[in-house]
Amino acid sequence: MPLAGKRILLVISGGIAAYKSLDLIRRLRERGAEVRPVMTAGAREFVTPLAVGALSAGHVYTDLFSREDEQDVGHIRLARDCDLVVVAPATADLMAKMAHGLADDLASTVLLATDRPVLLAPAMNPKMWAHPATRRNVETLRRDGLSFVGPNAGEMAEGGEAGLGRMAEPLEIVAAAEGLLDGGQRPLAGRRAIVTSGPTHEPIDPVRYIANRSSGRQGHAIAAALARLGADVTLVSGPVALPDPPGVRVVRVERAEEMLRAVLAALPADIAVMVAAVADWHVAAPGAEKIKKQPGKGPPPLMLAENPDILKTVGHHEQRPKVVVGFAAETQDVEKNGRVKLEKKGADLIVANDVSPQTGIMGGTRNSVKLITAAGVEEWPDLSKDDVARRLADWIAGRLT
């Protein structure tokens, strides 16, 4: 019962994903949590307080000016008498109100009055999520120290539209809540980390690019693991089909050049973990227009030029983070190449893995790595990428404390 004895205030706002909150209540309770629900007027248009009350086995709080509710616990106590506040779904509207400190109903008043950690699970149409106003509000809330889980990419419940905006699944929200409630295990609190993840796309022309098979799973898992230990994480990600890890600031880029700029912009930091499979080369002169087939002339020549070495730049930077970790994806002489990289790149640790196609590591969910430091080589067993991430985050925390 990982959430035994934990009291969770669940704020449900008015999005279509409110139906998933019913399952979320079940999932939280089956892990031992006590769930106290607060519903906005909008939420009550989607699911009834009767259903929410039946699943949470308790009172459902809806009105700011209800004499009974005020006599029962009162909005200030409601805001504080819990270990964690979860907002699921978090509508664009409620997040806008929170970002501006509005408090015109019970949910927004409680969110302004609470001094507990707050976890938001946004859910909305992709256009609403991408709107500059929502982007600003999310950034403000992150800066205010609130944590996020999702949204995920996929088809919207209304059907027809797909994109980033689906609420995280109840079990993902539970995992994020557990991470936040881990209690005291935040050795990286106050530390800043930069993680890169995914492949880069180097354009040939406006429609074609050179890429690689990196899925971003390992980098994203490391960003999440560092955030769980309390670090303030900036994840610079190439194009991937993964949800944003909870509690992490994500900067999306395509080319190696852009990735370097984003990494340098995120300095100073205490930790840099360069996991992205950055292309070594880009096309020297990408076509401004789509390159046409020219019958009889054969294929066009592709001149390549070298990309910046992001790990080496960070490893030798005047604002070099205290711990610099690089990943070395190799298909031969994994250990030897890892050692050479350690020195050349100015890294404290090279995590070397054999990405030969038969290992299934590139794009897969498991990883078997060797840790190469000045002190020697440590081989880890075959692990899930999440477990590699957890162990690596612990290793980094150990170096810093």
Ligand X SMILES: Cc1cc2nc3c(=O)[nH]c(=O)nc-3n(C[C@H](O)[C@H](O)[C@H](O)COP(=O)(O)O)c2cc1C
Binding site for ligand X (CB under 6 A): 13-17, 40, 42-43, 91-94, 123-124, 128
Query: What's at 337, amino acid-wise?
Result: N
Q: Give the shortest CB-136-to-ligand X separation in angstroms.
A: 15
CB of 174: closest distance to ligand X in angstroms? Answer: 20
212 is catalytic: yes
Give the residue among 346, 350, 388, 344 at the shortest CA–CA distance from 366: 388
Closest approach, Cβ 93 to ligand X, in A, equals 4
- Report the residue number, 91 or 218, with the smaller CB distance to ligand X: 91
Residues ≥6 apart with Cβ < 8 Å to 107: 11, 13, 38, 39, 40, 87, 94
Annotated catalytic residue: which of 212, 307, 353, 367? 212
In this structure, the strands spanning 271-274 and 323-330 are parallel
Which of residues 146 and 225 has its CB atom nearest to ligand X in the complex?
146
- Alpha-carbon distance of 387 to 397, in angstroms, equals 15
Q: Identify which of residues 17 and 235 has a Cβ nearer to ligand X in the complex.
A: 17
Instruction: Yes or no: say if 110 and 79 are a contact pair by the CB < 8 Å rule.
Output: yes
Closest separation in Å from C-beta 140 to ligand X? 16
Q: Report, in Å, the least distance between residue 33 CB and ligand X.
A: 23
Burial 325-337 (b: 16+ CB within 10 A, else e): bbbbbbeeebbeb
**Two tokens at 68?**
């009974």
Please state the closest distance from residue 95 (CB atom) to ligand X, in A: 8
Say whether 82 sits in a helix, a strand or coil. Answer: coil
Please say which residue, 11 or 352, places its beta carbon nearer to ligand X: 11
- Name which of 124 and 271 has its Cβ closer to ligand X: 124
* Dihedral pair phi/psi, residue 71, rounded to 5°: -70, -30
Nearer to ligand X, 13 or 147 (CB): 13
Using CA atoms of 228, 234, 235, 238 in order, give the dihedral in degrees to the nearest 10. Answer: 170
Residues 6+ apart with CB under 8 A from 123: 15, 16, 17, 88, 89, 90, 91, 150, 151, 165, 166, 167
Active site amino acids:
212
